[in-house]
A and B are shown apart, each in its own frame.
Chain A
Amino acid sequence: SQQGEEDPQALSIQEGENATMNCSYKTSINNLQWYRQNSGRGLVHLILIRSNEREKHSGRLRVTLDTSKKSSSLLITASRAADTASYFCATAGSIIQGAQKLVFGQGTRLTINP
Chain B
Amino acid sequence: KAGVTQTPRYLIKTRGQQVTLSCSPISGHRSVSWYQQTPGQGLQFLFEYFSETQRNKGNFPGRFSGRQFSNSRSEMNVSTLELGDSALYLCASSSLGSSYNEQFFGPGTRLTVL
Contact = CB atoms under 8 A, between A and B. Distances in A.
Interface of A: 1-2, 30-31, 33, 35, 40-45, 48, 88, 90, 92-95, 98-107
Nearest to B48: A100
Nearest to A104: B43
A102 B103 contact: yes
Interface string B39-67: 00011110010100001101100000000
A104 B103 CA distance: 13
B21 interface: no
Contacts of B4: 42
A93 B110 CA distance: 28
Contacts, number: 71
A112 B98 CA distance: 30
Contacts of A30: 99
Contact of B98 (A40, A102, A105): A102
B70 interface: no
Contact of B45 (A42, A94, A103): A103
Interface residues on B, range: 20 to 34
30 contacts: A2-B42, A33-B102, A33-B103, A41-B107, A41-B108, A42-B90, A42-B105, A42-B106, A43-B103, A44-B105, A45-B102, A45-B103, A45-B104, A48-B101, A88-B43, A94-B99, A99-B97, A99-B98, A99-B99, A100-B33, A100-B48, A100-B50, A100-B99, A101-B45, A101-B48, A101-B58, A103-B45, A104-B35, A104-B42, A104-B43
A43 B105 contact: yes
A101 B32 CA distance: 10
A106 to B, nearest CB: 5
B81 interface: no
Given A41-B107, A42-B106, A102 B33 contact: yes
B109 to A, nearest CB: 10
B45 A92 contact: no
